[in-house]
Amino acid sequence: MENNDLLKSVTEKALVWTNENYDSETQKAVKQLLDNPDKSDLIEAFYRDLEFGTGGLRGIMGVGSNRMNKYTVGAATQGLSNYLKKQFPSLSRIAVVIGHDCRNNSRFFAETSADIFSANGIKVYLFDSLRPTPEVSFAIRELGCQSGIILTASHNPKEYNGYKAYWNDGAQLVPPHDEDVIKEVEKIKSVSDIKFTGNPALIEIIGEEIDKKFIDQIKTLTLSPDSIKRNKDMKIVYTPIHGTGVKLIPRTLKEFGFENIIGVPEQNIVSGDFPTVHSPNPEEPAALEMAVKKAIETNADLVLASDPDADRVGVAVRNDQGEFILLNGNQTAMMLTYYLVRRWKELGKIKGNEYMVKTIVSTELMKTIPEKNGIKCFDVYTGFKWIAATMRENEGKKTYIGGGEESYGYLPEVFVRDKDAVSTCTMIAEMAAWAKNNGLSLYQLMKQIYVEYGFSKEKGVSLVKKGKSGADEIQQMMKDYHSNPPKEIAGSPIILVKDFLTLVAKDNTGKETKLEMPVTSDVLQFFTADGSKISVRPSGTEPKIKYYIEVHDTLKSIGEYDSINVTADAKIAAIRDSLGI
């Protein structure tokens, strides 16, 4: 679309937002965008409609069809309401759960959605205040609901908010439901199509009673209660990074048996402005700085951090010199996989029909560990909804042990169908107590796993490309990779290319194999002769193109760990240089 055509299109779209169907504050803000000689903000606000990606609806808050506001949230909720009524026509009562995190406007969006659902005759269970995302998933299943939503933008910067939609199994929407909900949303052509006037009789406030049931279920996950008893005084620093984890994670750790939970007072303050961090993302070292400082001051053993909606976990452990280092998401997931497999085996829980799940961009060690122990491991697309979909397909047939992804998300239970920082924090703490009981730190345990199952090192690289021009650039980069994939990376020939857009894997002889996946996805993977794996995909929730680099080697002894790390870093640097990232 030419610039003049684009400007004409967004202007026509914006003018609709200045009529009396919209509140006066919205009308005023849109008029200011229209009157501004610089039309870039106008274009960014209206050039497209927000769509469900791997994490649902997510965007910057503000006026416009491409922003998170009362009307885009309203259209999504009305569309979801219409879809639910089509999908469950014979039910006498359709019900949903609504939760929200700490973000600015999250409570407002949650209450707005509650009004719209109830105006459509749908029963609403609305949490009394902020709650972790996994608890919403749990509540959907516990209360027998057909759907649910949580207002959150996860770990995004403070200007973002989002809307995750869930189905009756407590999992995020997957095809065809996600695409069909969008079709229903697209049918909302006017604000007058949205029923904003709620029915209070259909809105029920929930809270502590669900908290207790959720925590009681998490307590059943313990595999090493004796280790916890022996190490109940182990010092654990925990930070919610201003988010909703403050509600349940310290409490759950204590109910699990850990008595020495140390908070970070400045970050226990619930705030959508995230005043102590640039970004509330536990993947970023800066977000854990205050917690690590507190751990040093208190001589703690372990640092745990959750993101604003408490589904992702960041971890810091002491190395052999006693200094705190951060684990990446792959290392945490790999170690949890190892711990679950080992303890299930030692406790005689392995019967032959167990399975685990990982995403295709996560470390291959998450597959190696279970498969070397006779346990099936499924590879799925990025996004926890695909892990949940695999759980749904195998329910009643196979026994789920655990699953996770490199982006700091893990799920060690079946009563939730999304990544869960609440249960994961407890299991990491239990793993630390178990390791300590066996004379090991978590850092030493990690190195032992590398010796036993092979060494890997991973690096994620995200190139941010903001706005429409950025989206266009990302799209072109992916087209180029699909049409003209590299022949070698960092001097190592590519021996296999997996193209998930065509669902074809092609090796270096030209032989093609079909990839068995439920749908296509814009992901490419390059496997090199030296054992490296490079994945590339556009983010479904952020303006980024993402690269996942994984290199492999053999660690013959723990003593070689430092030197093999240096070699791995050099290999990763060479791969980045080769790809120009």
Positions annotated as catalytic residues are 154
- State the angle between helix axes of 133-142 and 208-219 in degrees (0 to 180), rounded to the nearest 10: 90
Q: In terms of C-beta density within 10 A (0-12 exposed, 13-18 middle, 19 or more buried), how is residue 284 classed?
A: middle
Place of tokens 């697209």: 186
The amino acid present at 157, given as its one-letter code, is: P
The amino acid present at 523, given as its one-letter code, is: V
Buried/exposed 11-41: b ≥16 CB within 10 Å, e otherwise = eebbeebbeeebeeebbebbeebbeeeebee
Q: In terms of C-beta density within 10 A (0-12 exposed, 13-18 middle, 19 or more buried), how is residue 3 classed?
A: exposed
Q: Provide φ and ψ at 510, rounded to 5°.
A: 95, -5
What's the longest Cα–Cα distance across the chain? Answer: 72
Q: What share of the chain is helix, strand, coil (3-state, %, to 5)?
A: 40, 25, 35
Q: In terms of C-beta density within 10 A (0-12 exposed, 13-18 middle, 19 or more buried), how is residue 319 classed?
A: middle
Give, for 509, the enclosing helix (H) or strand (E): none
Q: Are 250 and 263 in contact (CB under 8 A)?
A: yes
Q: How far is CA 371 from the centre of its chain?
A: 25
Q: Are 484 and 491 in contact (CB under 8 A)?
A: no
Give, for 514, the enclosing helix (H) or strand (E): strand 512-514
Q: Are 426 and 410 in contact (CB under 8 A)?
A: no
Rounded-to-integer distance, Cα 523 and Cα 511, Å: 20
Rounded-to-integer distance, Cα 413 and Cα 401, Å: 7
